[in-house]
């Protein structure tokens, strides 16, 4: 579903770019002269997990991840550092649901876990823009974030032996993306496509070993794609 939305977004960007190129009137001519400005964003995401494995008592261990489309929403604070460089703080919420299938576990009830995550997403992002061309301005961005997982189950004493999959609540991630600023008559609209990648291990190992759920896992970290729509 998100792939179809990404394709639709790209088509919209192409159409807006063509319109902006034909447009002779320069909208918001003084917008980029501001030292600080604010906005908000809405978007969709599909987040999975990168899983790597280590030797264990469970041969051929594998975790398949199926991700539903989630949403992201938040605020924007933007500081101009240079004509082509901005520093942004974009606090928000990111929510999604994943289904984990431990394929080496024969019992379907024991081998399936539904993981619903809601993150407080606190990224610091550098935005590198080209010079403005009429009413469009492409850019790339990159940065890092601290994320707090409200639904991690980190402090839950029950583990997978009791049907509870647990993660560490605190996650550090890095983020990269590309997008285009469109200067409209009353505001700036900025669609972008971004990737997020966890740096630290999110798995919280079960209380006892051997555990068929967590013993085979060496690294378990979020990997995701955002469709990000900013209004400034």
What pLDDT is recorded for position 42?
96
* CATH code, domain carrying 162: 2.40.160.20
pLDDT digits (tens, 9 = 90+) for 110-120: 889 999 899 99
Q: Terminus-to-terminus CA distance in the chain, angstroms?
A: 27
Task: Find the domain containing 166 and state its range.
Answer: 2-231
pLDDT digits (tens, 9 = 90+) for 157-199: 999 998 899 999 999 999 999 999 999 999 999 999 999 999 9
pTM, to two decimals: 0.86
Q: How many domains does the chain have?
A: 1
What's phi and psi for 122, nearest 5 deg?
Answer: -125, 80
Below-50 pLDDT ranges, the chain: 2
Distance from chain centroid for Cα 187: 24
Number of C-beta neighbours around residue 173 at 10 A = 23
* Contact in structure between 145 and 93 (CB atoms under 8 Å): no
228 half-sphere exposure, CB direction, 13 A CA radius: 29
* Contact in structure between 11 and 40 (CB atoms under 8 Å): no
HEC sequence for 155-203: CCCCCHHHCCCCECCEEEEEEEEEEEEEECCCCEEEEEEEEEEECCCCE
What pLDDT is recorded for position 2?
47
């Amino acid at each position: 579903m998100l792939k179809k939305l990404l394709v639709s977004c790209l088509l919209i960007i192409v159409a807006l770019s063509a319109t902006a190129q034909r447009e002779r009137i320069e909208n918001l001519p003084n917008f980029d002269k501001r030292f600080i400005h604010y906005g908000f964003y809405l978007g969709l995401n599909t987040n999975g997990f990168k899983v790597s494995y280590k030797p264990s008592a469970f041969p051929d261990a594998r975790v398949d991840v199926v991700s539903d489309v989630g949403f992201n929403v938040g605020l924007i604070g933007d500081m101009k550092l240079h004509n082509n460089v901005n520093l942004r703080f974009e606090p928000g919420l990111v929510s999604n649901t994943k289904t984990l299938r431990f394929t080496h576990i024969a019992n379907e009830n024991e081998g399936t876990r539904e993981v619903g995550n809601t993150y407080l997403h606190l990224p610091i992002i550098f935005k590198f823009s080209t010079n403005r061309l009429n009413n469009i301005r492409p850019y790339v961005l990159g940065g890092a974030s601290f994320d707090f997982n409200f639904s991690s189950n980190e402090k839950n004493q029950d583990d997978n032996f009791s049907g509870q999959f647990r993660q560490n609540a605190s996650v550090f991630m890095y983020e990269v993306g590309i997008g285009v600023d469109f200067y409209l008559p009353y505001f700036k609209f900025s669609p972008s496509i971004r990737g997020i990648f966890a740096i630290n291990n999110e798995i919280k190992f079960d209380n006892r070993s051997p555990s068929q759920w967590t013993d085979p896992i060496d690294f378990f970290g979020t990997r995701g794609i955002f469709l990000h729509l900013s209004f400034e």
